[in-house]
Amino acid sequence: MCGIVGYVGDKLARDVVINGLRRLEYRGYDSAGIAVIAGGRIAGAKRAGKLANLEKALEEDPLPPATTGIGHTRWATHGAPTDENAHPHSGQSGRVAVVHNGIIENFARLRDELEAAGHNLRSETDTEVAAHLLEDAVSGGADLTTAMQQVCRRLEGAFTLVALDGEDPSRVVAARRNSPLVVGLGERENFVGSDVAAFIEHTREALELGQDQVVTITRDDVRVSDFDGRPAEGKRYHVDWDLSAAEKDGFDWFMRKEIFEQPRAVADAMLGRHDEQGRLELDEVRVSDDELREVDKIIIVGCGTAEYAGLVAKYAIEHWTRIPCEVELAHEFRYRDPILTRNTLVVAISQSGETADTLMAIRHARTQRAKVLAICNTNGSTIPRESDAVIYTHAGPEVAVASTKGFLTQLIACYLLGLYLAQVRGMKYGDEIRSIVGELEKMPAHVQRMLDDAESVYELAAELQSVRSVLFLGRHVGFPIALEGALKLKELAYLHAEGFAAGELKHGPIALIEQGLPVFCVVPPRGRDQLHAKMVSAIQEIRARGARTIVLAEEGDDEVTPYSDVRITLPVVPTLLQPLVAAVPLQLFACELATLLGHDVDQPRNLAKSVTVE
């Protein structure tokens, strides 16, 4: 939520900042703004709407040349997305400029205080109070770094703040609490950004900051301190992807590109994680084998698509390990006083590693002495940093708001975790694990096969352009895939879409079935006789009531043919692994339908990637 860029160096700050914002726009796109320091003062512009509006304004009224600047793309929390509420914000005299991500929870009290002291606040944002406080501090003689430390000590809530002092063009100062911020380390230039995409075209060397830290970047130096001014160290790391990964590469949307990257992403997620005998090696699982043997309950937490990955994982982990496994939405888990002990393993799934709801859930779990293992795609992000262990998914940057390769690689990480637990606890023989690992190894090719059939899914989307409602049915691990198919359609095509467990139909949802209603049905492999037969009956029942059935069933499954209006063929894979292939046509369908409807697939309305507020 909200994209932030800061730059000091020899280049034109406007270009560096706007390019960085373009790569971060997926984090929020309600409004955008920029500020630079030129001639001893701040110059800037901000506009409601997408970044293009700001760029147009800058063409009409260019900024003076400058080499120090900050920028912001907003996802509104306090105050509507207007020009006035867009960032950067300034204090009374306009000497400082501030951009912010997060929520300053005590802003109302601070605002009253400032107004009582004669300050005139112009926006409805919580950010503006920080700008006024910073300006007061620098006007009182503090340098911007000291001012930032002082102000942060007064703020409550979650925030990343990045500020400029018009009278000091040598530095950009930033601070973070419970909100993302990374530093980019260049040659005679340095950067700050919400994530590395902000500066990936300039450098792949980065510095990870801890909680409650302030960083001052100048052209030649980076200094980190805590909020009390004590020097601190950031953790340096090399970003293992490059600019091409952050670009569309000829695709119309990042989402489509990311869907097509899935065979590679799935392969990368497994790379180096087992030896030739199929024995799993998860080096990053820093919880000892002894502790893993003690685990008597697993609770998986996540939000949205990540939670659906958890729902699939439950079936696999319980089946392979016989450890009871619950799955819960992170925001529900956090506030219901869950029962946790030191033998509970909490698994937090998050592509971004910054989702505030999931972060709060793991913090709560750790205060209850549960062990926390993160499954995450973003190196150095807050959730893995605050967990006892992490399995990185190695999907590469996921830019589209809707998660696709993030999801498939989360599934891989969950399978690996389940198998690893089974191995450590002696629940499966080596040859059983080897055989499942062998099946997993075939998955990139199976996913590729689903992609090779994309045209037929696109044709289906073209046929269904005018529908207003779509249902998805599944059983067992097909149920979370039904939920995921529906979520993708809601968020991208803005359609009424619902996913159901097929067994639940007769308990209510079947009343929704009417003539011509499209229903996607995820059919389990035939190996699971009971499941398969029950799913086939459900399809018959809805078809008898007029549903248009779009049936995802494995190759050679002729039993469903008489009841399928449209057939999507899945490769023959073990039941537990079927989600990896069944999700793909549903992703393609949502992407294509939204494209045909003229929607912005990468930046759906009201949404933002990386939900850093609760």
What are the residue numbers of the active site?
Answer: 2, 609
Helix (H, G, I), strand (E, B) or coil at 122: coil
CA dihedral of 19, 25, 31, 37, whole degrees rounded to 10: -30
Selected binder of ligand F6R within 193, 263, 304, 480 (CB under 6 A): 304
Tell me which stretch binds ligand F6R (CB under 6 A): 9-17, 42-50, 350-358, 463-471. 350-358
Q: Say which residue the tokens 């045209």 belong to.
A: 455
In angstroms, rounded to a whole number, what is the distance separating the alpha carbons of residues 63 and 57?
10
Nearer to ligand F6R, 234 or 304 (CB): 304
Size of the site for ligand F6R (CB under 6 A): 15
User: How many CB atoms lie under 10 A from the CB of residue 214?
Assistant: 26
Is 311 among the residues that bind ligand F6R (CB under 6 A)? no
The mark string for 474-503 relative to ligand F6R (x by CB under 6 A, - otherwise) is -------------x---x------------
Is 577 among the residues that bind ligand F6R (CB under 6 A)? no
User: How many CB atoms lie under 10 A from the CB of residue 312?
Assistant: 29
Residue 74 CB, nearest approach to ligand F6R (Å): 18
Residues 6+ apart with CB under 8 A from 579: 312, 411, 477, 478, 480, 481
In angstroms, rounded to a whole number, what is the distance separating the alpha carbons of residues 481 and 31?
34
Distance of CA 531 to the CA centre of its chain: 33
Structure tokens at 312: 């699939």
Residues 6+ apart with CB under 8 A from 486: 470, 471, 472, 497, 498, 499
Residue 367 CB, nearest approach to ligand F6R (Å): 20
Tell me which stretch binds ligand F6R (CB under 6 A): 207-215, 300-308, 333-341, 585-593. 300-308
Nearer to ligand F6R, 4 or 303 (CB): 303
Selected binder of ligand F6R within 121, 298, 306, 414 (CB under 6 A): 306
Nearer to ligand F6R, 88 or 304 (CB): 304
Is 68 among the residues that bind ligand F6R (CB under 6 A)? no
Question: How is the beta sheet containing 566-570 ordered, strand by strand?
Answer: 496-501, 469-474, 518-522, 548-554, 566-570
Nearer to ligand F6R, 222 or 359 (CB): 359
Which conformational region is residue 99 in: left (phi greater than 0), alpha (psi within -120 to 50 degrees), or beta?
beta
Tell me which stretch binds ligand F6R (CB under 6 A): 279-287, 302-310, 338-346, 361-369. 302-310
Is 524 among the residues that bind ligand F6R (CB under 6 A)? no
Is 358 among the residues that bind ligand F6R (CB under 6 A)? yes
In angstroms, rounded to a whole number, what is the distance separating the alpha carbons of residues 188 and 546?
67
Tell me which stretch binds ligand F6R (CB under 6 A): 179-187, 206-214, 299-307, 546-554. 299-307
Judged by CB under 6 A, the chain residues 259 through 298 that form the site for ligand F6R are none
Is 144 among the residues that bind ligand F6R (CB under 6 A)? no
In angstroms, rounded to a whole number, what is the distance separating the alpha carbons of residues 598 and 236?
42
Selected binder of ligand F6R within 160, 218, 350, 423 (CB under 6 A): 350
Selected binder of ligand F6R within 352, 382, 387, 595 (CB under 6 A): 352
Question: How is the beta sheet containing 389-392 ordered, strand by strand?
Answer: 325-329, 297-302, 344-350, 371-376, 389-392
Helix (H, G, I), strand (E, B) or coil at 344: strand
Q: Which of 366, 389, 394 is nearest to 379 (CA)?
A: 394
Helix (H, G, I), strand (E, B) or coil at 273: coil
Do 567 and 551 contact (CB within 8 A), yes or no?
yes
Query: What letter does residue 274 receive in the DSSP assignment?
Result: B
Q: Say which residue the tokens 């759906």 belong to.
A: 604
Q: What is the DSSP string of 184-237?
A: EE-SS-EEEESSGGGTTTT-SEEEE--TTEEEEE-SS-EEEEETTS-EE--EEE
Is 3 among the residues that bind ligand F6R (CB under 6 A)? no
What is each CA distance from 485 to 42, 166, 464, 607, in whole angstroms?
A: 47, 50, 15, 17
Mark out the alpha helices in 399-472 (DSSP H runs): 405-424, 430-441, 443-452, 454-463
Is 402 among the residues that bind ligand F6R (CB under 6 A)? yes
Residue 496 CB, nearest approach to ligand F6R (Å): 17
Selected binder of ligand F6R within 85, 123, 150, 351 (CB under 6 A): 351
Nearer to ligand F6R, 330 or 440 (CB): 330
Tell how strand 371-376 and strand 344-350 pair up: parallel
The mark string for 417-456 relative to ligand F6R (x by CB under 6 A, - otherwise) is ----------------------------------------
Residue 577 CB, nearest approach to ligand F6R (Å): 21
The half-sphere exposure of 573 on its side-chain side, counting CA atoms within 13 A, is: 27
Nearer to ligand F6R, 101 or 610 (CB): 610
Is 305 among the residues that bind ligand F6R (CB under 6 A)? yes
Residues in the chain: 614
Is 9 among the residues that bind ligand F6R (CB under 6 A)? no
Residue 403 CB, nearest approach to ligand F6R (Å): 3
Residue 486 CB, nearest approach to ligand F6R (Å): 11
Is 382 among the residues that bind ligand F6R (CB under 6 A)? no
Residue 415 CB, nearest approach to ligand F6R (Å): 17
In angstroms, rounded to a whole number, what is the distance separating the alpha carbons of residues 213 and 226?
4
Residue closest to ligand F6R (Cβ) = 304
The mark string for 15-54 relative to ligand F6R (x by CB under 6 A, - otherwise) is ----------------------------------------
Is 403 among the residues that bind ligand F6R (CB under 6 A)? yes
**Residue numbers of the site for ligand F6R (CB under 6 A)?**
303-306, 350-352, 355, 358, 402-403, 487, 491, 610-611
